[in-house]
Amino acid sequence: MTHFWRNRKFLSIAAQLISVFTVAIVVFILWDNLTYNLELLGIGFGFDFLQSQASFDIGETLIPYKPTDSYYSALLVGLLNSLRVSIIGIILATIVGAVVGIARLSTNWLVRNLALVYVEVLRNTPLLLQLFFWYFAVFISLPKLENQISFFGLINLNNKGTQLPFGLEISSELSALILGLTLYAGAFIAEIIRGGIQSVARGQWEAARALGLKPGLIMRLVILPQALRVIIPPLTSQYLNIAKNSSLAIAVGYPDIYFVASTTFNQTGKAVEVMLLIMITYLTISLTISLTMNTLNRSFQLKER
Amino acid sequence: MLNRKWYLLFAILAVMLSMSACSRRLRGGNTTTISRLDTIKSRGKLVCGVSGQLPGFSFVKANGEYAGLDVDVCRAIAAAIFDDPKKVEYRNLNAKERFTAVQTGEVDILSRNTTWTFSRDTSTGMEFAPVIFYDGQGIMVRKNSNIKNLEDLKGKSVCTQTGTTNEQNLADQMRQRGISYKPIVFEDVNTVFTTYEQGRCEAITSDRSQLVSRRTTLSKPNEHTVLDLLISKEPLAPAVKNGDTKWFDVVKWTINSLINAEELGVNSQNVNQLANSSNPEIKRLLGTEGDLGKAAGLSNDFVKRIIIHVGNYSEVYDRNLGKNSELKLERGKNKLWNQGGILFAPPFR
Amino acid sequence: MNQNEIIKWLRKNLFDTWYNSILTIVCVFLLVWGAKSIFTWILFIAQWKVIAVNLQLFLVGRYPEQMYWRLWVSIFIILGLTSVTIGSLVKKIPNRWLPLAWAISFSVILWLIGGGLGLQAADSNLWNGLLLTLVMAVTSIVISFPLGVLLALGRQSKLFVVRNFCILYIEIVRGLPLIGILFIAQVMLPLVLPDDITLDRVLRGIAGLTLFSAAYLAENVRGGLQSIPRGQFEAGKAIGLNSIYIMLLIILPQALRAVIPALVGQFIGLFKDTSLLSIVGLLELTGISRSILAQPEFLNRYAEVYLFVGLLYWVFCYSMSLVSQRLEKV
């Protein structure tokens, strides 16, 4: 008769039970400590505080907002700000990344190496530091309104923000955030795009040229579809990083969802609820981006017969 | 044989269940019967949460020592307990973590220019000791900006720090007057001031004492002026964790003794002679008569220790914020109740 | 290289087509203009005194001067071990004692820096600047490594509870920004732990970084595990090893070797991410530079300070990425 510690079925059940118990006990201890501490401090659990007045003001809002609005409205404003930064960041970073990525493959030595320097410098320094640099050393060091730097009257730069054509005005905080996020993610996207284009076999170029296609058409019809198959998965994770990195807005004073949630915590002391709100928001944003990109991915995948 | 292995398994599971005794509630209220005062005494030093970046209240001098009004409160408590004002460990806390640090017991007392408000008293699990500095929220602008009152701030940017009462008070006042403005908000107090100095915002709002204090650290202090208006009441008081009356009493009465000493004319120079004074109030204060100190868990002469090492309220104020300091803030409302101010401490009896 | 070769090279690389020639001229223009402005700024306009005066703060913060010898000893140990490791990798002579030596030196260096057990203690509030960045990055990677491997193994497990717990943990942590996790670690950890355990700020920062990094490491290791053919597992069973030994001796070494580039990339990312700890109040390299910028004499020296600190980060990260490229070729 085999010893009980070699009996596979017993071991499997024992292992499952022990692991369930371990997880359950750890969770129980932590949860209990948490509720005990919260009780001692007089902080209850509940989301009713969302209806009470926020009483703080938010500098940049996409929807009308007054300090008498609820915390719920404040959080909504923060969410819209985060989405604004993320979407603009994703679009601009893709463009910058594409340009630099193709530059990395140029036959021109100078262009190729300038792109290399750009990529290696920006990839190997922390994003937070780059944001601080852009905000403090560049954007709020710009001259005042009276002496602003003007490009043909279309684009004006001063220490309050950037004025673009069509009446668009972007504050210094938002400008620094968008510029920093775009350039940083652009460096990574450049490498992804370069890797994708290089992954297409040389034979494809030659065959397409043998068919008589012009370079522009070769890129569009033969190379890019195949390259995109390799590019899209890592590109997805870069887009997710842009959305997550937008939370660094707190360092440059731009009121995104994390900043507003953090202020809410400071005013109400509701740690657990605020933590849950932050988690749900970012997980939803991440999930949305992943799902969208996965659908896109599927349309590019090889359809096996 | 079949039964043995199941018994062993259940034994293991039972042992694991008993590990959940780590949970606080099941251990019972064991931890709450030990007062923080006893923990401090056995530890041998006081852990004091301060800002560390606010000249006049709590900052680090060039020789590494802490100085300031908030720091002196902690030194007074250490003097009362240990007869040695140096037995303090200071922890720098930013505006966001200051309450958590008290709630979780990481610091024994929060002496960090914190405003006493209703919501902080009730919903953050802290108790506030007597006010040590009656302040108000103000605005600082550049002298050449021609901003004289709140209405002049229309359309302008105002720098402020998040996690403080300043943010909400400014919003309230501007809303009441119907003035539209742009708040530029940061988490870190240094960033707020440096951004204001760079010119990103035309005005900066904070407690008036903080504005005056940090103006001395700007590159050209004379270019800036703190306006004469007051946006709100900001009574600054130290805070301790809820639920520990013995420790709370020690903190309360340390502060009260500073004020009472000034009222009775006791200071660090004359405290030794006055111990034998004929005035019964002074005798009770300094412990020559009565057992007030022992009832609080301290020695009877704890006030004498405080005055010898730290001084009375006016000495503390003058040294840090008043005529012997760089800030030269008028005492204003911080004078004694019988001298035109509102500083009042209950009697030692 | 004589003149003909230079001209040939120029023609081929810079001027081969008309649009390349235009690009080259434009780039040269921009480069010359850029270089001139930058050098003028570096040499004449910038005030580098802020770096010179505060160099000590940048590198080691308020670490007591009389204990500097400990830092020198640690550097010596690290340099020694690194050269031995590089030597053994290049010459392809595996040294059995190397991993053990690294593990022991890690504890020794922590003991040297922190004190205790015979050496005078240096409070963790005094470790600032580059010292704190390095200590936190290395400690987090060292602790998150076994954690990540366990999570990856758990994700493959047939046990329902274990597998789903691991999946849940990995997916949630990977979906959150690091600053959110640091917020959770800073605020929630003190509330969920029993009263007697108090974690100081540095420990909470390390805990946050570790929990974050473990999830990403788990995904990298999972990729490696999936690349091992099933035959290895079956061959191990055929020899008679039980599952644990198969994992330890056969599968894991191969899986980890396959993902070394990704692991080094992870470390580079973690090193950069330590800068986020400045937002939660820790004075590592980024934090101490903001603190230095708040000193009255140096209020507007943003560009100088941030460029200097950026250079420090860049040197470390670029060297690590060079090492990773070299390892990929091995």
Average pLDDT over residues A221-228: 85
pLDDT at position A1: 58
What's the CA angle centered on B55, arms B49 and B59, to 5 degrees? Answer: 40
Say how many CB pairs under 8 Å bridge B and C. Answer: 52
| Assigned domain for C321 exists | yes
Which residues numbered 195-234 in C keep a CB inside 8 Å of some CB on A? none
pLDDT higher at B20 or B198: B198
Which residues numbered 74-133 in B keep a CB inside 8 Å of some CB on A? 95-96, 99-100, 103-104, 119, 122-125
Please check the confidence at residue B26 and state whether its pLDDT lies above 60: no
Q: Which of A16, A20, A129 sits opposite C310 (nearest CB)?
A: A129
How far is B203 from chain A, CA to nearest CA, in Å? 13
> Is residue B211 within 8 Å of B204, Cβ to Cβ?
yes
Please check the confidence at residue B170 and state whether its pLDDT lies above 50: yes
DSSP secondary structure letter of residue A49:
G
How far is B95 from chain C, CA to nearest CA, in Å? 10
SS3 state at A298:
helix
Q: Where are the domains of chain B?
A: 36-134+237-339, 137-232
Q: Where are the beta strands (DSSP E) in chain B?
A: 46-50, 53-54, 58-60, 66-67, 88-92, 109-110, 126-128, 133-142, 157-161, 182-186, 203-207, 224-226, 232-236, 239-241
pLDDT digit string (tens) for B296-315?
889 988 999 999 999 999 99
Chain A residue numbers with beta carbons less than 8 Å from the beta carbon of C308 are none
Pick the CATH number of B36-134+237-339 from 3.40.50.2300, 3.40.50.300, 3.40.190.10, 3.10.180.10: 3.40.190.10
Spatial distance between the Cα atoms of C162 and A289, rounded to a whole number of angstroms = 28
For residue A34, what are the CA distances in angstroms to B25, B188, C188? 10, 28, 8
Same domain, C31 and C174: no
Please check the confidence at residue B21 and state whether its pLDDT lies above 80: no
How far is C184 from chain A, CA to nearest CA, in Å? 7
Q: What is the pTM for the complete model shown?
A: 0.87
Instruction: Give the amino acid at A216.
Output: G
Positive or negative torsion for Cα C229, C231, C236, C237: positive
Chain B residue numbers with beta carbons less than 8 Å from the beta carbon of C281 are 92-94, 96-97
Instruction: Work out the mean pLDDT of chain B and round it to a whole number.
Output: 88
Same domain, C152 and C29: no
pLDDT at position B30: 47
pLDDT at position B22: 59
The CATH number of the domain where C323 resides is what? 1.10.3720.10
Look at chain C and report how many structural domains it folds into: 2
> Is residue A101 within 8 Å of A191, Cβ to Cβ?
yes
Spatial distance between the Cα atoms of C152 and C219, rounded to a whole number of angstroms = 7
Average pLDDT over residues A75-103: 95
Q: In terms of CA atoms, which chain C residue is nearest residue A113?
A: C27
How far is A121 from chain C, CA to nearest CA, in Å? 7
* CATH number for region B137-232: 3.40.190.10
Please check the confidence at residue A4 and state whether its pLDDT lies above 60: no
- Whether C5 and chain B come into contact, CB under 8 Å, resolves to no
Spatial distance between the Cα atoms of B31 and C204, rounded to a whole number of angstroms = 23
Please check the confidence at residue B1 and state whether its pLDDT lies above 60: no
* Range among A21-30, A162-171, B212-221, C146-155 with highest mean pLDDT value: C146-155
User: How many CB atoms lie under 10 A from the CB of residue C101?
Assistant: 16
Compute φ and ψ for B47, nearest 5 degrees.
-105, 120
Residues with pLDDT less than 70, chain C:
1, 116-117, 195-196, 330
Spatial distance between the Cα atoms of B12 and B114, rounded to a whole number of angstroms = 50
| Assigned domain for C179 exists | yes
Confidence of residue B88 (pLDDT cuts 50, 70, 90): very high
Same domain, C143 and C35: no
How far is C254 from chain B, CA to nearest CA, in Å? 35
* Range among A201-205, A223-227, C176-180 with highest mean pLDDT value: C176-180
pLDDT at position A56: 86
Q: Which of C186, C191, C299 sits opposite B97 (nearest CB)?
A: C186
Q: In terms of CA atoms, which chain B residue is nearest residue A172?
A: B200
| Assigned domain for C73 exists | no
Same domain, C31 and C147: no
pLDDT at position A99: 93
pLDDT at position B55: 85
Same domain, C306 and C157: yes
SS3 state at B318:
helix
Q: Which of A4, A36, A268 sits opposite B25 (nearest CB)?
A: A36
Q: Where are the beta strands (DSSP E) in chain A?
A: 149-151, 155-158, 161-163, 169-171
Instruction: Locate all alpha helices (DSSP H) within chain C, ordered by sequence.
Output: 3-13, 18-40, 49-60, 68-90, 98-114, 129-156, 160-175, 178-192, 201-226, 230-239, 243-245, 252-258, 260-273, 285-293, 302-329
pLDDT at position C91: 75
CB contact under 8 A, B187 and C279: yes
Same domain, C27 and C133: no
Spatial distance between the Cα atoms of B218 and B215, rounded to a whole number of angstroms = 5
> Is residue C46 within 8 Å of C303, Cβ to Cβ?
yes
Compute φ and ψ for A70, nearest 5 degrees.
-80, 170
Q: A48-300 belongs to which CATH class?
A: mainly alpha
Q: Do B36-134+237-339 and B137-232 agree at the fold level?
A: yes
pLDDT digit string (tens) for B171-192?
989 989 999 999 999 988 888 9
CB contact under 8 A, C278 and A128: yes
pLDDT at position C1: 63
Instruction: Give the amino acid at C330.
Output: V
For residue B210, what are the CA distances in angstroms to A26, A239, B113, C62? 45, 42, 9, 26
pLDDT at position B27: 52
Average pLDDT over residues A3-8: 64
pLDDT at position A88: 95
Question: Can you give the residue range of the structural domain that contains C154?
Answer: 127-329
